[in-house]
């Protein structure tokens, strides 16, 4: 399969065959992590990492991925570059992207809620770089989607319901499993990217999907519609509930994470404190042992960082059915696979 040069902005835009190719290669790379088969796939190649927002796992995992493939990841910050913005003069996206593509083998961009003035602005920026840059543009998390996280999620869940982490991968084990994506309260105001990607990719791989949140925390209507269509195509169920416990019943995977409300932006400003104040009114929306007992022996998943004590209790997050560290590790392996397939000598 030829994926060389492909952009990855959301998994919804890739075919199931293409997503399986990434996951199959990621599983091989995990089993044979430092095999000579993989250690020169990006030899002498550079991957630009454009960070509007800070990170822990994203920068670490991409830098490790590039190194283990024999390449180099270069960290870039917009504030250190003379780029045009809505309020300042500078270089246009067209000029920056065209020049970057002559230097590097690919570009990753991370731009989240507090670096945009309205929902979707980050997505527009990635697509503008993809339009002008003659190299793969990879989302490292933006305001709409987080494809690398979604792939790591599915890989981790399939390992848990299959042979176990690092012991091979059969994503068909997810068919018919129930994924609960539950809003969690807390002192953070988080974008929709991770939960929307989980909803999309879970529904692509045949999972029943339930989204649970208080009234007023609806996600992107277009993404909801895509998830419904994905489920329908797989004869799976899609549901939305505003009951704090109902979605847990019969769940196999529980994903409890905070996300902002649709009222998070006004006049080009991200209303972070207002979002935090709103969220703290719902302390009952926490994933705890009592709710997990309603599930079908579910695993707990989260993209991290976790707002412990708000989104989930320590007892669940650090419990025997938590897959958070396996999913976090899988970021490295899926990103290696993505980089190898889209910009490597594979």
pLDDT tens-digit map of 68-108 = 999 999 999 988 887 766 656 678 999 999 999 999 999 99
Domain assignment present for residue 97? The answer is yes
Domain boundaries, position 111: 11-145+328-343
Share of the chain above pLDDT 90, in %: 91
Span 186-211, average pLDDT: 96
Sign of CA dihedral 182, 324, 123, 5: negative
CATH number, domain containing residue 37: 3.40.50.1370
Nearest C-alpha neighbor of 233 from the set 199, 210, 205: 205
Residues whose CB is less than 8 angstroms from the CB of residue 18 and which lie 6 or more positions away in sequence, other chains included? 1, 3, 6
Q: What is d(CA 126, CA 51) in angstroms, rounded to the nearest whole number?
A: 12
Do both 106 and 198 map to the same domain? Answer: no
pLDDT tens-digit map of 101-159 = 999 999 999 999 999 999 999 999 999 999 999 999 999 999 999 999 999 999 999 99
Whole-number pLDDT of residue 56 = 86
Whole-number pLDDT of residue 233 = 98
Longest dimension (CA), the chain: 56
Domain assignment present for residue 128? The answer is yes
pTM of the model: 0.96
For the chain, the domain total comes to 2
Query: Cα-flanking dihedrals φ and ψ of residue 143, to 5°?
Result: -65, -20
Do both 132 and 247 map to the same domain? Answer: no
């Amino acid at each position: 399969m030829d994926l060389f040069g492909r952009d990855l902005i959301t998994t919804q835009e890739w075919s199931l065959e293409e997503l399986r190719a990434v996951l199959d290669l990621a599983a091989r790379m995990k089993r044979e992590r430092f095999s000579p088969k993989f250690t020169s796939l990006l030899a002498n190649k550079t991957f630009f990492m454009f960070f509007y927002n800070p990170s822990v796992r994203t920068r670490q995992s991409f830098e490790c991925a590039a190194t283990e493939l024999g390449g180099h990841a270069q960290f870039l910050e917009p504030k250190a570059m003379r780029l045009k913005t809505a309020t300042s003069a500078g270089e246009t996206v067209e000029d920056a992207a065209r020049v970057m593509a002559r230097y590097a083998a690919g570009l990753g961009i991370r731009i989240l809620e507090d670096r945009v003035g309205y929902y979707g602005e980050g997505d527009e920026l990635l697509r503008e770089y993809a339009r002008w840059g003659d190299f793969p543009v990879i989302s490292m998390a933006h305001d709409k989607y987080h494809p690398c996280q979604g792939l790591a999620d599915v890989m981790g869940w399939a390992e848990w319901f299959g042979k176990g982490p690092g012991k091979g991968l059969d994503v068909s084990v997810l068919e018919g499993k129930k994924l609960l994506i539950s809003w969690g309260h807390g002192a953070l105001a988080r974008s929709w990217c991770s939960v929307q990607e989980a909803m999309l990719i879970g529904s692509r791989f045949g999972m029943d999907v339930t989204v649970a949140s208080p009234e007023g925390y609806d996600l992107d209507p277009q993404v909801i519609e895509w998830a419904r269509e994905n489920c329908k195509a797989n004869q799976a169920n899609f549901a939305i509930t505003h009951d704090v416990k109902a979605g847990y019943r019969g769940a196999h995977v529980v994903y409890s994470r905070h996300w902002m409300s649709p009222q998070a932006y006004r006049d080009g400003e991200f209303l972070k404190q207002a979002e935090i104040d709103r969220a703290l009114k719902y302390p009952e929306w926490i994933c705890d042992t009592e709710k997990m007992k309603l599930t079908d022996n579910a695993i707990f998943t989260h993209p991290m960082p976790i707002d412990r004590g708000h989104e989930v209790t320590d007892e669940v997050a650090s419990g025997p059915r938590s897959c958070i560290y396996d999913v976090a590790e899988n970021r490295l392996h899926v990103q290696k696979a993505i980089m190898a397939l889209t910009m490597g000598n594979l």
